[in-house]
Every structure is written in structure tokens, then in C-alpha cells.
A and B are shown apart, each in its own frame.
Chain A
Amino acid sequence: MEILQTNSAMLSNYEVMALLADQKAQRIANEVAGTREVAENLRTVEFEVQKYLAASPCSTQSAEQIAALKKAFGSYELMKVELLQILNLRPKSAVELLLVIEEFEERFSLDDCDEMLRIIATALPRDDDEEMEEEEVAEDA
């Protein structure tokens, strides 16, 4: 065993989820009759990672949405890791956004913050946004 490069690229949660699903489908498609044995360690980690990712915001993302988000953020000078975290965590409020972007106050204005949140909400739509709002309204009432 030889490690050539420890960090050759970063993956978003969506890519990992898509890869695992794809690999599983491949495995079933290529299955030769009578050779159905999947390594136990693979099954365990696959199941647990998929469970974690299914509960995370990436479960409703698609490749088109991610491309659209990247394009919409083109005008802001964000680092790769910042964009990656926006994808993985999908910030809904200013606090969450400020967490993932370093030194936000110095690099951007508050208007930028609102605009970024709007971009995220439109590029990565999720059903539970409305539910959350309804809950809040119910609580207020």
C-alpha cells in the first residue's frame, strides 16, 4: 500500500451520497448469480453514512442545483471551503452564514448577507422551510 496524495480533492456531501447510491446500483447490476457477498465493513459504513446524509440538507440537492448555486455566488469572492460548507450546511439564517464565512464583517456588507441567504433559499429549495415558518407562526400565535 502506498499513499500518493492524502487530499487530492474535496467532496461535497451530495457527491458522497450520489457515489454511494451509484456504487450500490452498480454492484447489483454486475452481480453474478450465486456471488452475492458484500463485505460487512462496507455495508456498515455505507448504511451509516447514508443515514447521516439522508438527514442532512444534501438529501434534496441535485447536480443542477449545485451548479446554479456556484454560478449565483460567482460575484462574491468566496473560498472553496466556504462554498463547500454553504452547500453542506445550507445556512438559513444570518448567524449560520456568518459561521461558515470567515471575517464576514470585513469582506461583505449586511446587504450581501441578505442577498446570499436569498440565493441559497432559491438555488437549494427545501420543503421544510415552509414548515418551519408555519411552526414559528403557530408558536407566535
Chain B
Amino acid sequence: MFNLAEMKDTIKIEPSGFRKKKAQAITDEINRKYANKVLQDVGLCIAMHDILYASEGFIHHGDGCSYVTVRFRLVIFRPFVGEIITGKIRSCNQEGVRVTLGFFDDIFIPYHYLQDNSEFNADEQVWVWMYDENEMFMDLDETIRFRVESEQFFDTSPSVRPKKEGVDTPDLSANSAKQAPYSLTNLPYVGQKDMNAVVLANALSEIRTVASESITAAFGDYRA
């Protein structure tokens, strides 16, 4: 789920930070710059892990800040494809189920990846898994275990974001369609906690076969 990325960057320490110890000042600046941000093709940055190397600080002409070249490692949230994670159901709609981990929300399970015989209950706005005439409701805030099937990165810089239809203002961010910078598509493994092991085992063997045979086909449909 979490891994480390090695980075190199020039960190600016403002004069107000000179009172701190150097390592602490660098750590604070790196965290300010990277924490809770998605880096393209790297993942969601959580916090700095350690500093591998830091140069002496340079002060440029006409500027009181100290510039330090730092090589450091960041803790990154980036599950590998095939990883199993537990999360909570955030919302359900016709398209599928949205799952949240608290710190990461852009997890989506398309309906065709749900267990066989799952139906969308429009009254309750939840998905229901019909298993042996039992109705298993996938209620909101329910803990769910899923497998990461694929991941997508989108460059969200204003200049390359897709344009929203029919809107044309000078404000670039209002112009463009909302798109998560990093999102996961998943296969659910276990809907509800209180199902017994046999049920799970059956469901799993079903999912496995489905997964191996038709994922590519199903995914093609979904994309289209």
C-alpha cells in the first residue's frame, strides 16, 4: 500500500525558518510542498521519510532565502495492481460503488466487477448481492475488502485539462471538467463482515473465474 520514492529538489527556506534546526526546517518545507498531493505516475504523497543528502544553503543576491539541494525519500500511497485493501463504502449509484480509505477517496468499483447476481436497489440507493436467496446489502460506511484492478493518472494542470462543455470564461479552473488526478478501479472481494467463510469461498471462486476470463472484455466496455 505504501512505498518510498526517492526525489531530488531545491528547497527554499525562508529567513523565518532559520531559527529551526536545519534538518527540521528542510523537513517542514518538504512536507509543506508535497504532503497530500498527487505526483504524476508516482502516487499520493503522505510525508517525508528521510533526508539522504542536503547541500549547504545558498543565498542569492537580492533574496534573503536559503536554497538547499536535497535528496530525500517520500512516503507514497500507491497500492500495486492486485493488492487487497480494506476500505469503507462512500456511496453507491447505478454505475457502481465508491470506496474511501479516509485519506484517499477516488476508488471506484464498476458494477460489472461486483459479485454475480448483484442488483442496484433504487429505493435504498445501495447495491444488493443476492446470494442463495439471502440479500446482502452493501450499506454505506460498511467495511469492504477489494482488489486493485487498475490505476489511472490524469494530468490536472489547467492547460491540458479537458474543457467543460458550453462554458467559456477566462477562469481556467472553472472551464475544465473535474477529474481526479489519481484513481483506482477495483474488484470487490468481500462485501460484508458477517458473511461466513463458506459464502466467501464460493464467491471467491466465482470471482476468480470471472476475473480471469472476462476482465479485458468487461473493461473494454466500461471504457467505451
**CB contact under 8 A between A95 and B21, given known A48-B103, A52-B103, A89-B84:** no
Query: How distant is B149 from chain A, measured CB to nearest CB, in Å?
Result: 14
**CB contact under 8 A between A4 and B35, given known A19-B47, A45-B47, A95-B204:** no
Asked if B42 is at the interface of the complex by the 8 Å CB criterion, the answer is yes
Asked if A75 is at the interface of the complex by the 8 Å CB criterion, the answer is no
**CB contact under 8 A between A6 and B5, given known A42-B32, A98-B204:** yes
Interface size class of B (residues with CB under 8 A): 35 or more
Stretch in B6-14, B133-141, B214-222 with 4+ CB within 8 Å of A? B6-14
Query: How distant is A42 from chain B, measured CB to nearest CB, in Å?
Result: 4
Residues in A with CB closer than 8 Å to B86 are: 56, 89
Residues in A with CB closer than 8 Å to B167 are: none
Residues in A with CB closer than 8 Å to B200 are: 93, 95
Q: Which residues of A from 12 to 38 have beta carbons under 8 Å from B? A: 12-13, 15-16, 19-20, 23, 26-27, 30, 32, 35, 38
Residues in A with CB closer than 8 Å to B36 are: 41-42, 44-45
Asked if A100 is at the interface of the complex by the 8 Å CB criterion, the answer is yes
Residues in B with CB closer than 8 Å to A2 are: 7-9
Asked if A109 is at the interface of the complex by the 8 Å CB criterion, the answer is no
User: Which residues of B are at the interface with A, using a C-beta cutoff of 8 A?
Assistant: 1-9, 16-17, 19-21, 24, 27-28, 31-32, 35-37, 39, 41-43, 46-49, 71, 73, 75-76, 78, 80, 83-84, 86, 101-103, 145, 147, 189, 197, 200-201, 204
User: Which residues of A are at the interface with B, using a C-beta cutoff of 8 A?
Assistant: 1-13, 15-16, 19-20, 23, 26-27, 30, 32, 35, 38-39, 41-42, 44-46, 48-49, 51-52, 56, 81, 85, 88-89, 93-95, 98-100
